[in-house]
Amino acid sequence: MDHRVWPLLSLLVAVCSGNPILFGEITSPKYPQGYPNDAYQSWNISVPKGFGIKLYFLHLDIEPSQDCEYDFVQVLIKDEVKGKFCGRRIDGSSPTSPLYEQYYPTNNLRLEFTSDFSNEERYTGFSLYYIAEDLDECEESSETYCSHFCNNHIGGYFCSCPPGYFLQADNHTCGVNCSGNLYTDLRGQIHSPGFPSFYPENSLCDYKVRLIPGYQVVITFQAKDYDIETGRDGKCTYDILTIQAGEHTHGPFCGRSPPARIETGSNQVDILFQTDSGGENKGWLINYSEDAIPCDHRIFERSQLSPAKDKYVFKDTITVTCIEGYEFVIRKRNVPSIQSYCRGDGTWSVTEPKCQLVDCGAPSEISNGRPTFSKTTFRSTATYSCVSEYYQIVLPASGDGTFRCSSKGLWVDKNGNQELPKCTPVCGTFNSAASSGGRIFGGKRATLGKLPWLIAFVSPNRGAGALISERWVMTAAHVVQESDQPEMFGGLINLPTRTDANLLKAKKVIIHPKWVIEPLDKRVNFDNDIALIQLCSKVQLGPNISPVCLSSGTSPGFDDSGYIAGWGRTEKRHVSGHLMFTAIPLQKMEKCQEIVTEKKYTFSSNMLCAGDGAGNDSCEGDSGGPLTFLDHNNNEKMYVAGIVSWGVECGKYGVYTKVENYLDWIKETIDKVESEEGEGTGSDCR
């Protein structure tokens, strides 16, 4: 049978059998008439994937030319010319010519016909059939890739693998089944597929090692058991071994020099081995073993661990204590220690908080004083000083005045005590200008600040008193026996104007318990004529107001000169509006007894006699004021020895309450009151 008939019969059989084979006929313009000049026409031929296209030329009559330059029909695949035809080959001529039929291994092509502007003869063009013909994808010239076996079928192909291999997800590559291996023994060996023979290509192996918590996987290699293909640049670009331990990756590894011992730090390890399509290497063998996962104790900075060990492993429990000067702070509370245990993954159950430097905070304030410091942390120092020269620092018995921030967060002195110094008033500050002669009864005017302890009593009785501390005034009992709220002023010299005066408010008036209260005009017994007044608030000491000392440790001698001052009556029989002062000697009691003609007045050992008998004396309105002496043994301080009490004639001698006899009562009274209510620094009177 003529070969030109057989394709047509094949097409008919395919169509009749219902197979989806495409075919068709294409002819040149006006065929079988002569084709026109300057003609162009194209046809797109498409068949299903897995098929190629075969062309059968039944008629070919196109103007011949060198390389088909004038008129031609050509085949293009992706705009690339794959065949170009011209010349005269009509039915029955050259039946074996290779141009008579042509096969193209593609399912898409384009056919184009082109003629120029003239033809010397009449040419009828071409006539052809095309048909879809099965494509053999497994031919060596095919672009199809199968790593092992290629199997062709009508309309397509498939890859297959030899025994022991499986087709991977790309449906082209064969690999060995080397994943899913699980190792749970504490020790063992793992090797690449086929070891020590060549390992297979195109494989991805995953070996899983899973040990019980608390152990890490340790991997070791030997050089004789290690051979993995390396890229030409020496990098692991072809076959790769990696070890995945938790979030940490070791590798990639390749070549002939194995890695050093690997402590993975995890009880769960994946050994991954990936190969490409080439190479002949024997692979690897590893030994794995267990080791207790250590917990890094170095993370506990500035601390001590108990019990102390070089290495802590799973389930070890420790007590963490900060070193001296450091502490834990949890929710603003100081915590001496924390506990933590080593977990199976090599981490500690508790790592926070961290030890931080102890902070003692600002040193405590003291009344009339202040601390000086630059830092408040461990071993910082602070020193105390008073706010002015009118106060003096008094240190605790064992202290040196310097406090240090201790490891316990407390400010302590050199002996570890917390007792703070105190700023106590400087008493008896004496200005030598006050020693000038003169008389109260016709005496000399005092200037402001010369006698800063003098307190003026305005009502209910005119009188005076002495400031003996920041919050206590001493006076005569008969001055305050009629009122528990006497009107008092301190730090002044001019009583009518009261310029720059401090109004002092009494909280409590305490009269000596043995003082007998009776009207002054009928009084003949002034024994125990002494009283104390607690002020509502502490007096801020300064140049115009400060206390007098209570005692000197010695008693004044007869003929020793003391000083009296006040706003009482002068020799001109009027009350002075300005503070007056004078010096008078201490006398024996007989001097005062001589001028008392009436024997009804009482004299006792609680009294002193003073005056010069020549006009220097206290008088009415000076009651309660202090009789002061210089303490030559105590830095020239002034101390009070007597309180103006009574007399029968101004200008001669006066009787004073002997303060020395009441020192114990004064101290006990003040201590009792202040211990009962606390030592307040501010006003507590309504």
| 137 known member of a binding site | yes
User: Is 560 flagged in the annotation as binding?
Assistant: no
What is the CA angle 146-150-152, rounded to 5? 135
Helix H or strand E encompassing 371: strand 369-373
Residue 71 counted as an annotated binding residue:
yes
Q: 307 preceded by cis ω (within 30°)?
A: yes
Beta strands at 179-183 and 204-210: parallel, antiparallel or unpaired = parallel
The radius of gyration computed from the CA coordinates of the chain, to the nearest angstrom, equals 62
Structure tokens at 121: 């003869």
Q: Is 276 annotated as a binding residue?
A: yes
Q: Collapse the DSSP code of 532 into the 3-class scheme (helix H, G, I; strand E, B; otherwise coil) and give the result.
A: strand
What's the number of CA atoms in the CB half-sphere (13 Å) around residue 412? 11
Helix (H, G, I), strand (E, B) or coil at 8: helix
- Angle among Cα 488, 490, 494 to the nearest 5 degrees reads 95
What does DSSP assign to residue 451?
Answer: S
Q: Are 367 and 681 in contact (CB under 8 A)?
A: yes
List active site positions. Answer: 478, 529, 623
CA distance 616 to 650: 8
Residue among 679, 620, 674, 667 at smallest CA distance from 645: 620
The answer to whether 63 is a known ligand-binding residue is yes
Beta bridge partners of 113: 41, 73
Closest residue by Cα to residue 510 from 559, 465, 569: 465
Of 645, 589, 577, 658, the C-alpha closest to 617 is 645
Please indicate if the annotation marks 152 as binding a ligand.
yes
The response to whether 229 counts as a known ligand-binding position is yes
Q: Is the dihedral of CA 364, 369, 373, 378 positive or negative?
A: negative
68: three-class secondary structure by DSSP: helix
The answer to whether 203 is a known ligand-binding residue is no
- Among 420, 423, 431, 433, smallest CA distance to 389 is for 423
Q: Are 57 and 126 in contact (CB under 8 A)?
A: yes
Q: Which residue ranges make up the annotated binding site for Ca(2+)?
A: 63, 71, 116, 118, 134, 137, 152, 156, 229, 239, 276
Q: Which residue ranges make up the annotated binding site?
A: 63, 71, 116, 118, 134, 137, 152, 156, 229, 239, 276
